[in-house]
Amino acid sequence: MRHEFEESADLTKMVVGHELWLGQAKQEGDQREVSLLFGHNMRTDGVLNPARVKPLIYRPDGNTIQPTMSSESDRYRLRFPFAGDGCYTAIVDLVPIVVSQNSEGYHIGPKFQFKDVTYSGAIISMAKRIMPLGNDQLELKDPMHGIFEIVPSEARFRKGEDAEMRVFYEGRPLAGAELRVVSEKEGKEMAQIKTDDNGWAKTPMTEDGDWMFLAKHRDPTKKVNEEFDMTNFVTTLVMEVQ
C-alpha cells in the first residue's frame, strides 16, 4: 500500500451526515476491483487514513480473503482475485472513533480531553457492497459481518422494481430504522424509508447505476464513563441497479 496521501477526511462530519461507501466495482482480467470513498450523498470529500480502515472480501463459498489496497487522489482501490461465478461481498470497517462537542465545535477524542463537553459519542461504521458475478440468483437472508447491517433480499436489484432490504442490529431485525436512499447518478437522496416491525423496508429503483442505502442507530446503553455517552452505528450498502 502506498501512503503518499495524507488523511484529508474530516471524520467529525460523520456526526452531521458524512459516511464511507464502496463504489466503482469493475473486473479486470482475473481481478475484481472496488473503490472505498468518504463523503456525502456519493460525492467524495476527503481521503481516509489507510490505518483507519479494515477491508475484507467474502467469497461465494463463505471464505474470506484480504484485498490489496492502493491509493488515489480521492479514494482507495481494493483488488482481489476472481474465483468463479457467485456472490462476492466487500466489507470495510472503520476503526471506531469518538467525537466530542463543546462550544468550539466537534473534536476527535474522548470527552475527558476537552472542556465543557455537551456531547460525546463513539462511532462504529461499516461499508458493504454486494457484487454478483455470473448468473447467481442467491437470496440473502442473514447478516454476515457487522453488529449493525443492511441485508438485501436478493443479490441484484433492477430498475423499475422495488428494492427490498432488512436491517439487523445485534443479529436481530430492527424495527423503525430509518434508511436514506441515494442514487449516484442523481447525486442526491431519493427517499427516506423506515423498516417495519420485522425490520423490512422497500423503495422503488427509478435509475440504473449504483445506489447507496444508509442506516444509522444510536445506542445510549453502550457508553464508557468519562469517554463517551453513547455509541452511534453507521452502515452503508451499495448495489448496482440494472
Query: What one-letter code names the amino acid at 200?
Result: W
For residue 111, the 8-state DSSP code is: G
The residue assigned the cell 460525492 is 43
CB atoms within 10 A of CB 231: 21
Rg of the Cα trace of the chain?
A: 18
pLDDT in the model for residue 2: 45
C-alpha distances (whole Å) from 74 to each of 47, 57, 147, 187 are 6, 22, 28, 17
C-alpha distances (whole Å) from 52 to each of 95, 125, 134 are 5, 11, 33
Asked if 184 and 210 count as a contact pair (C-beta separation under 8 A), the reply is yes
As a whole number of angstroms, the distance between CA 133 and CA 137 comes to: 10
Q: Are strands 31-40 and 19-28 parallel, antiparallel or unpaired?
A: antiparallel
As a whole number of angstroms, the distance between CA 59 and CA 175 comes to: 30
SS3 113: helix
Output the nine-digit C-alpha cell for 28: 479486470
Any idea where the domains of the chain sit in the sequence? 11-241
Asked if 23 and 37 count as a contact pair (C-beta separation under 8 A), the reply is yes
pLDDT in the model for residue 218: 96
As a whole number of angstroms, the distance between CA 205 and CA 158 comes to: 7
Element spanning 29, H or E = none
Asked if 121 and 111 count as a contact pair (C-beta separation under 8 A), the reply is no
89: β partners: 58, 130
pLDDT in the model for residue 140: 78
65-112, pLDDT tens digit by residue?
999 999 888 899 999 998 888 889 999 999 999 999 999 999 999 999
Pick out the chain residues at pLDDT < 50: 1-3
Beta strand ranges found along the chain (DSSP E): 19-28, 31-40, 43-44, 53-58, 64-65, 68-71, 76-81, 86-102, 105-108, 119-133, 148-152, 162-169, 172-173, 178-183, 188-194, 200-204, 209-219, 230-241
SS3 30: coil
